[in-house]
Amino acid sequence: MRRPVRAAPSAAAARVTLWIYVALVLAFLLVPIAIIMPMSFSDQPYLTFPPPGWTLHWYAVVQDQPRWLAAALNSFRIGVPSALLAVLFGTFAALAIVRSGSRWAKPMTLLVLAPMMLPHVIIAIGLFPTLVDLRLINTYAAVVVGHTVIGISLVFLTVSAALRGYPASLDLVARTLGANAWRTFVRVTMPMTWTGIASGGLLAFAASFDELMLALFLTSAKTETLPRLIWDQLSFALTPALAAVATLMLALSMFLLSAVAVIGSVRSPPPKRIFP
């Protein structure tokens, strides 16, 4: 699979153009993220780039304000149960739809994925009056419900991919061997799909951790999350403390993404042939 040693001039030009294009796309994606980090170490009381001097002062400021810590804890209190509920519902939805073979499988898939396509503000507007009626508004449950809705789509995607990665006959054969539906799930389906379930759960947590729009509608001062607090602070104090919080959140997100990537690379050996 070696490339030809010498490419034709037009091919070389195309290659250079492609490299420039890829570099521009990466810059577009990464520069805003890269800029926020140095700004958090700035010795000025406002956001500047590049910062004229360096300090860790703003991290100390963040640490000293209990509101930031409370918001961080809220983000976990909301993100963890949202992710767990999303794993529960998303996994079973994927199992039902992928393995059904029904002609309703396609429309049902679109329905489960709809929260990914819909603007979050619309989901929020839909959830708000319902949760008011249920007297759940401003509780943790309210925003957990909202974030579960978003997380289900993500878990559904990763678990469906894992289910499609092995032949359904593996589940069927377990049934003939004497395992009922539940034991088949525990003994065969779970070991075959745990990478999809785990990465789906991490993605669902990350989605909840980053989410602003539903948090604006569904959280109160008591249950506010980190993105909501950043948003509130933006309107009156544009200090490097915000950049410091953003950098910390970025670190956690990067950690979660790496975890997903690592899980994705640990795969049980696939069966040799696919069921026709």
Residues that bind another protein (CB under 8 A): 166-167, 169-170, 172-181, 183, 187-188, 191-192, 268-276
- Per-residue b/e over 259-270, b at no fewer than 16 CB within 10 Å? ebeebeeeeeee
Residue with Cβ nearer another protein (10 or 176): 176
CB of 216 to another protein, least distance (A): 44
- Distance, in Å, from the CA atom of 73 to the CA atom of 226, rounded to the nearest integer, reads 9
- Judged by CB, which is closer to another protein: 17, or 102? 102
| Nearest-approach distance from CB 228 to another protein, in angstroms | 43
| Residue 32 or 191 with smaller CB distance to another protein | 191
- 172 vs 212, which CB is nearer to another protein? 172
Q: Which two tokens stand for residue 14?
A: 């195309």
Task: Compute the distance between CA of residue 2 and CA of residue 77 in angstroms, rounded to an integer.
Answer: 52
* CA 63-64-69 angle, 5° bins: 55
Token pair 């909840």: residue? 208
Q: How far is the CB of 109 from another protein (least distance, A)?
A: 21
CB of 93 to another protein, least distance (A): 22
Question: Where would I find the H helices in 40-56?
Answer: none
Closest CA to 124 of 205, 218, 227: 218
Which residue in 37, 32, 35, 73 sits closest to 58, CA to CA? 37
Using the minimum distance from each CB to another protein, give the nearer residue, 51 or 167: 167
Q: Which residue has the tokens 């959140």?
A: 249
We find the least distance from the C-beta atom of residue 106 to another protein, in angstroms, to be: 17
